[in-house]
């Protein structure tokens, strides 16, 4: 099994347990469920830099990245540094995150929040809304065309935006649905974990102009962003480059000032 297959298999079991513990009817009573969400796509499109700064404690490939810096300090620092949105990893087993991280981020910043998660069930979309998210991530490699349509439609019903992540042309072609607000091209090969921004460049011309283009993974230099902007990319998701620093907020501020 690939790491993605392992994650999604575990996630399906996890979601079943969460459904029993906290039913949707209870999620709908949470404070943030009735909150009016903030548009992540507009925030990125109107930003001079388009930086989506990510809170990420660890990953399957890099193990521990940063598990010492407090989340509120990072999130507030990202906002003050000029980020246009914040991505919060909520997977516990593989990335060390949680829904409590999303909730804490919501109480720390007014920036739009992306729930970064391996979504395999509509229940997780209700969770995203209940815990203060503004947008969800749908990974084309994890879902078939019918699931993408169903999940994206559910998100829109709840007032959430959709960032759809693709890795290649095949995934992009099955992802062309009207409910998508943003398409993120992941520059990391899921099989080899090699990273190349050539993936973003090659797919750029096939993404409709009315969808916000986001490049993900392997972005650690300002020159890379300036190059990708020539291909129409407005958003740039950066996690490890900031989180590897002893002070992620300072790293983000220095990086954004250079753009």
Is residue 41 among the annotated active site residues?
A: no
Catalytic, 54? Answer yes
| Pairwise CA distance, residues 114 & 185, whole Å | 16
Catalytic residue list contains 171: no
Selecting among 56, 129, 171, 215, the annotated active-site residue is 56
Task: Write out the H or E segment, with its range, that includes residue 181.
Answer: none
Query: Which one of the listed residues 66, 79, 116, 213 is annotated catalytic?
Result: 116
The verdict on whether 70 is a catalytic residue reads no
The verdict on whether 165 is a catalytic residue reads yes
Catalytic residue, candidates 127, 161, 165, 240: 165
Q: Name the catalytic one among 186, 187, 200, 215.
A: 186
Question: Can you list the pairs that 94-100 forms with residues at least 24 positions away whose Cβ atoms lie under 8 Å?
Answer: 94/3, 94/7, 94/10, 94/59, 94/60, 95/56, 95/57, 95/58, 95/59, 95/60, 96/57, 96/58, 96/64, 96/67, 97/55, 97/56, 97/57, 99/127, 99/131, 100/131
From 11, 54, 66, 171, the catalytic residue: 54
**Rounded-to-integer distance, Cα 78 and Cα 242, Å:** 10
Catalytic residue among 41, 175, 217, 240: 217
Query: Which residues does the annotation mark as catalytic?
Result: 54, 56, 116, 165, 186, 216-217
């Amino acid at each position: 099994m690939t790491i993605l297959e392992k994650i999604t298999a575990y996630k399906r079991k996890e979601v079943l347990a969460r459904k029993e513990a906290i039913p949707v009817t209870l999620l709908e009573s949470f404070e943030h469920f009735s909150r009016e969400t903030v548009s992540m796509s507009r925030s990125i499109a109107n930003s001079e830099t388009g930086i989506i700064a990510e809170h990420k404690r660890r990953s399957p490939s890099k193990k521990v990245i940063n598990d010492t810096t407090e989340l509120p300090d990072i999130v507030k620092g990202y906002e003050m540094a000029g980020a246009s949105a914040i991505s919060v990893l909520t997977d516990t087993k593989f990335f060390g995150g949680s829904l409590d991280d999303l909730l804490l981020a919501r109480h720390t910043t007014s920036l739009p929040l992306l729930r970064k998660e391996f979504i395999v069930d509509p229940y997780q979309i209700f969770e995203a809304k209940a815990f203060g998210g503004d947008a969800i991530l749908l990974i084309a490699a994890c879902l078939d065309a019918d699931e993408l349509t169903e999940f994206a439609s559910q998100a829109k019903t709840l007032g959430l935006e959709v960032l759809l992540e693709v890795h290649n042309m095949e995934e992009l072609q099955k992802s062309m649905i009207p409910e998508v607000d943003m398409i993120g091209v992941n520059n990391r090969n899921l099989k080899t974990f090699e990273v190349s921004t050539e993936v973003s460049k090659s797919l750029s011309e096939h993404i409709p102009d009315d969808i916000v283009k986001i490049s993900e993974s392997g972005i650690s230099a300002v020159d890379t962003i300036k190059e990708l902007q020539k291909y129409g990319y407005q958003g740039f998701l950066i996690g490890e480059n900031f989180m590897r620093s002893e002070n992620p907020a300072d790293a983000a501020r220095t990086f954004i000032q250079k753009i």
